[in-house]
Amino acid sequence: MGIVNVTPDSFADEKPVIDTAQAIDVALRLEADGADLIDVGGESTRPGAETLPKDAELARVLPLIRGIAGRLRIPLSIDTYKAEVARAALDAGASIVNDVSGLRRDPALAQVAAERGAAIVLMHSRGTPKTMANEAVYEDVVTDIVAELASSIRVAEAANVPADRIIVDPGVGFAKRPAHSYGVLPRLAEIAAALGRPVLVGPSRKSFMQAALNDRPAAERDWGTAAAVTAAVLAGAHIVRVHAVAEMVQVVRVAEEIRRHAT
């Protein structure tokens, strides 16, 4: 899953992409580089980020979605937790909703996905970007993630989202200290087995790697991301969400061969 953020405060890019024409070029390049899906986001979810009004979010993402929906050959995902933004994005050409709140901030989003026949990614998190650091307290991080994602799945299914259109994401870097994020990666198969759903993982350039990489800025963490992506694939991830698609395609293909030959 290739990432196209149209946010002026993106944590991962030295020069954030906010121009629609430039963002369209980025999306098409990521597809050419080997992305299987494209995820479009208009609101930053980095730690401490402010909530963006829905009209401002729509103004960022809709021109991009309309500009690429008819040109991409791969599915398009909208990264939002707001039902109204999801509805407009799906009507404009998206077919997946990627909800970083796991339906906790706007449960009506589940009904939108069901009505539009969309797939939905339910990510584990707690609180909001401004409060989530204070909520990174777990008895056992994977056990707690499974229990909380199971609750999100029940909300989606109660809204008639078919089980085969639900994907889960353990939320590496969200409401988790670095030790929690590192602890999640080798246990992805456990999460998939417990919930019976495919697992998406998004470790790309995140700050949990910062100490191990001697405080390199986010845009210089692709080698660290490659290690995290390898670990995720070996542990059973079905989808990895990344910025550097061309490089991570190579990483994933080799990691998949290692997994395939494992005995």
Active site residues: 206, 241
In this structure, the number of other CB atoms found within 10 A of the CB of residue 250 comes to 11
Rounded Cα gap, residues 97 and 81, in angstroms: 8
SS3 at position 224: helix
8 A C-beta contact, residue 236 and residue 199: yes
Residue 79 backbone phi and psi in degrees, to 5: -90, 95
Q: DSSP assignment, residue 14?
A: S
8 A C-beta contact, residue 135 and residue 127: yes
Which alpha helices (DSSP H) does the chain contain, by range? 20-32, 54-68, 83-92, 108-116, 141-158, 178-184, 188-195, 222-234, 245-261
Rounded Cα gap, residues 247 and 30, in angstroms: 11
Rounded Cα gap, residues 88 and 125, in angstroms: 24
Residue 250 backbone phi and psi in degrees, to 5: -65, -45
Rounded Cα gap, residues 22 and 12, in angstroms: 17
